[in-house]
Amino acid sequence: MKNRWNRREFLQKTSAATLAALAAGAPMPSLLSGCTSGSTAVQGTADTVILLWMAGGMAHTETFDPKKYTPFEKGMAGNRVLSTFKSVPTVLDGIHFSDGLQSIGRVMDKGTLIRSYVAADMGHILHSRHQYHWHTCYEPPQTVAAPHIGAWIAKELGPKNPVIPAFVDIGQRFTVGEGEELKAFHTAGFLGNEFGPFFIPDPSQGLESVRPPIGMDARRFERRNQLYNELISNSPVGEFGSDYQKESLRRSMEQAYRLLNSPEAKAFDLSTEPKASYDRYNTGRFGLGCLLARRLTEQGARFISVTTEYEPFKGWDTHENGHTRLEEMKKQIDGPIAQLITDLAKTGHLDRTLVVVASEFSRDMMVEGRPGAKVLEQVNQPDVLSDLKFYGMHRHFTDGCSVLLFGGGIKKGFVYGKTADERPCKTIENPVRIDGIHQTIYHALGIPPDTQYEIEKRPFYTTPDGKGKPVLELLA
């Protein structure tokens, strides 16, 4: 692999990339109109959203909705297993979590637990398709590029601090499995580049994302910025793109340029965090991502996503070694999430910051999909467990999932919805779907439910057809 491009190769790559962007549903002048809304704006209870994304399918019965514990026995039937961990009490009377999540359990008096999220039926279950659906509220494929929820929020509310990117995405690399599919929803879609995510794949190297390369002085960097603007003018965007596209691309670069030259860039440098605090978060990339999210919230970021990262057959994608791997995943998330909530509450930021903990779907030992709508299984798993590696929630389950909400006007110490205590552990009370989750977030931020833009001569809403409703029972 070559380490350097010559000028011609660079221009060829840039031209190809910009042409692809033009073809990906980006708006042309006659296709995108301003926001129209017949609703009266609601008074928001939150200014910032932090999404803590458990990528790969977090089993509800192994985390925040434990059922009867059945210890492993060689030769046991898989249908005997409902939970592979004992349940432990939380700060809420009568509410238990799975063992290993005691720290989060101790801060549940500050938040709400949804036990009845139901993921969509989209046929053959693919992680990237369900993640696309969760993050955009639209089922793929779409005729236009659907914006990520973070992009909608960045567009509608704008930056809290003009220097700090409104939408920051922490922890997801695109060099791992299904990278191209994950890229499809990590965008602002037709809203334009300036509302897209600022990527920080590794939070421990966050400062590297916001400063010029080593050896580049200020004058050289300024010249690079001027050349970039000239390149835009002479690229396919300059020739074929709309004024909206060109301005959006320029503004995105201007925002990045302001950040590089600002004192706020120090927020990205975790080496300045006191050691005791750093150590409390340092369980790995996700834990440090929570620390960076806290620092960026304090500096005025609008939407921050921190992910455990999706990589096939790793992390929460537990097709085998489910029990042993979840022991490690809980160590990664339990302390940092609890510490984030504690720190935000201590400084008063939690009052106006909505923290969401979620995953694309759940898991079950026996059912792929949901009862009555089973789909093709991804991996052949034995019904009789002859080895510990098969002890865990390895099949994809969409009919009962857990979501945690903290701060930002959400009820405190509240549990919503219920799943059955026996297999199938499906939702039996107050089902919540993705449009309800999105509209609850938008409602907390004061964004009207019928917010829309005209694209390709039809309205495109924050949730399909503008029919989504917030779950008002979740709000204080």
- Map out the domains of the chain with their CATH numbers: 27-205+275-474 (3.40.720.10)
C-beta of residue 443 within 8 angstroms of C-beta of residue 449:
yes
Burial class (CB in 10 A: 0-12, 13-18, 19+), 324: middle
To which H or E segment does residue 182 belong? helix 179-183
* Closest by Cα among 197, 120, 185 to 370: 120
Burial class (CB in 10 A: 0-12, 13-18, 19+), 126: middle
C-beta of residue 22 within 8 angstroms of C-beta of residue 245:
yes
* Closest by Cα among 432, 439, 368, 450 to 113: 432
The dihedral sign for the CA sequence 286, 132, 46, 474: negative
DSSP-assigned letters across all residues of 375-406: ---SS---SEE-SGGG-S--EEE-S-EEEEEE
Exposed e or buried b for every residue in 7-38, given b needs 16+ CB within 10 A? eeeeeeebbeebbebbeebbbbeebbeeeeee
Count of all residues that appear for the chain in the document? 476
| End-to-end C-alpha distance for the chain, whole angstroms | 56
**What Cα–Cα distance (Å) separates residue 248 from each residue in 34, 153, 154, 319, 407?**
14, 16, 13, 42, 32
In one letter, which amino acid is 171? Answer: G
> Please, which residues have CB within 8 angstroms of residue 322's CB and are 6 or more apart in sequence?
59, 62, 84, 363, 390, 391, 392, 393, 394
To which H or E segment does residue 437 belong? helix 434-445
Burial class (CB in 10 A: 0-12, 13-18, 19+), 351: middle
In this prediction, residue 83 carries a pLDDT of 98
In this prediction, residue 239 carries a pLDDT of 57
d(CA 295, CA 347): 11
d(CA 224, CA 231): 10
d(CA 192, CA 205): 27
The dihedral sign for the CA sequence 342, 331, 403, 42: positive
Question: pLDDT in tens for each of the 476 residues of the chain?
Answer: 444 444 444 344 344 444 444 444 444 433 455 555 556 667 899 999 999 999 999 999 999 999 999 999 999 999 999 999 999 999 999 999 999 999 999 999 999 999 999 999 998 888 999 999 999 999 999 989 999 999 999 999 999 999 999 999 999 999 887 888 999 999 999 998 889 999 999 999 988 877 666 666 656 666 666 666 666 566 655 555 566 666 666 666 666 667 777 888 899 999 999 999 999 999 999 999 999 999 999 999 999 999 999 999 999 999 999 999 999 999 999 999 999 999 999 999 999 999 999 999 999 999 999 998 888 888 888 999 999 999 999 999 999 999 999 999 999 999 999 999 999 999 999 999 999 999 999 999 999 999 999 998 899 999 999 999 999 999 99
DSSP-assigned letters across all residues of 205-267: GGGGGGSPPTT--HHHHHHHHHHHHHHHHHSHHHHHS-HHHHHHHHHHHHHHHHHHTSGGGGG
| pTM of the entire predicted model | 0.88
Residue 372: CB atoms within 10 Å: 9
3-class DSSP state for residue 454?
strand
CA angle 445, 149, 454 (to 5 degrees): 95
d(CA 409, CA 461): 24
C-beta of residue 267 within 8 angstroms of C-beta of residue 294:
no
Q: Give the phi and the psi of residue 395 in degrees, each rounded to 5.
A: -90, 155
In this prediction, residue 200 carries a pLDDT of 94
Torsion from C-alpha of 291, 402, 371, 312, nearest 10 degrees: 10
